[in-house]
Amino acid sequence: MTKRACKYRFYPTPEQADLLARTFGCVRFVYNAVLRWRTDAFFKEQQKIGYTQASARLTAIKKAPELTFLNEVSSVPLQQALRHQQAAFKHFFEGRAKYPAFKKKRHRQSAEFTTSAFRYRDGKLFLAKCAEPLAIRWSRALPSEPSTVTVSRDAAGRYFVSCLCEFAPETLPVTPKMIGIDLSLKDLFVTSEGERIGNPRHAAKYATRLARAQRRLSKKKLGSANRAKARQKVARIHAKLSDCRMDGLHKLSRRLINENQVVCVESLTVKNMIRNPTLSKAIADVGWGELVRQLEYKGEWAGRQVVGIDRWYPSSKRCSCCGHTLDSLPLDIRAWACPECKTEHDRDVNAAVNIKAAGLAVLALGENVSSMGPVPVSGSR
């Protein structure tokens, strides 16, 4: 058994929307207040605050006469906010993340409820202090009763509920097919079999609408109701763009996992690549990191293998026939001939074939393959 979060959209009643708005506000207030207290305690008094002290601080905050509104919502999301903050500090001190940031009112809002703060009966979900069930659009049945429920509202004003459940993944039948994919910008990726999956370029499709909406937003008076409406329009376009991208990536990753026993991919450092001022927008739009993430967890569920090769492996410059490696290969050259064996290569297809060969070597040897020979499996997935 493994855990899986099932996300659904729901439409709250006016009373539920009001309660959720107050809950989101209280969660944000508690998180920010405790974060400020912990930060000041460290920089002014060199005192490290743990979760136990933070929880005691929350109890003291709720007793303040001017903060009685914190008692009007469920206490569980407030406590969960401190647990999330403690996890954020843990990731920071272990070097996996930046220092915890303050929550903002106009960004995505969320609140997590544990089993003591919600009730799930006969396909209906009741939250604490809510008399009516949430009007959820169930796209599929839950695999089991949820252990935690996270309610969120995005910047476009849409409400979602994410239910964490246990489920038994189904292992797909073994297939002899193995594939390598080369991620690129001209095409989303090219396979070792020569198939090209075009880059949908979602940002370019909505660029005109988004630019118009942003211009109108910039002309609205600060703090006015019209500015709030214009901001919602911009957020809805961004949400549409994101939904289109995620839908396409989910369909492609599912197809790759269903059809192939082994999928070999590059281990790209998208976080570093996106710093390129010329290509950053295109790299962010194509969603390489999200595609690889989906391949990894879907492959784990289905009993498939997703192999990442060393990021420095010269897949484009190496001849897939004789192994000769060019000294350099500029990005504008899309086809080249091997000076040793005279084989004509398409840059992307050749790279995909090399990625597949290197990935199979990783499986066979338990090592990554680079231009200098085998290296430790630090970049494999």
Q: What is the side-by-side strand order in the sheet with 187-191? A: 196-198, 187-191, 178-183, 262-266, 305-309
Per-position DSSP letters for 276-308, written without gaps between them: -TTTHHHHHHHTHHHHHHHHHHHHHHHT-EEEE
Q: What distance in Å separates the CA atoms of residue 311 and residue 265, rounded to the nearest whole number? A: 10
Query: Residue 167, Cβ neighbours under 10 Å: how many?
Result: 14
- In the chain, the largest separation of any two C-alpha atoms, in whole Å, equals 82
Query: Residue 355, Cβ neighbours under 10 Å: how many?
Result: 29
Q: How many Cα atoms are found within 13 Å in the side-chain-facing hemisphere of 194?
A: 2
As given in the structure block, the two tokens for residue 118 are: 């919600």
Question: In the annotation, is 182 catalytic?
Answer: yes
Contact 262, 307 (CB under 8 A): yes
Q: What distance in Å separates the CA atoms of residue 140 and residue 42, rounded to the nearest whole number? A: 47
In the chain the first and final C-alpha atoms are separated, in Å, by 22
Note the Cα 374 to chain centre separation in Å: 31
Q: How far is CA 291 from CA 95, 279, 307, 345, 359, in A?
A: 25, 18, 13, 26, 17
User: Residues with Cβ < 8 Å from 270, sequence gap 6 or more?
Assistant: 283, 288, 289
**Sequence letter at residue 130:** C
Question: In the annotation, is 45 catalytic?
Answer: no
Q: Which of 112, 266, 296, 310 is catalytic?
A: 266
Provide the 8-state DSSP code for 137. -
Q: Which of 182, 187, 243, 259 is catalytic?
A: 182
Q: Which of 112, 296, 310, 348 is catalytic?
A: 348
Question: In the annotation, is 132 catalytic?
Answer: no
Provide the 8-state DSSP code for 143. S
As given in the structure block, the two tokens for residue 53 are: 């002290």
Residues serving a catalytic function are 182, 266, 348
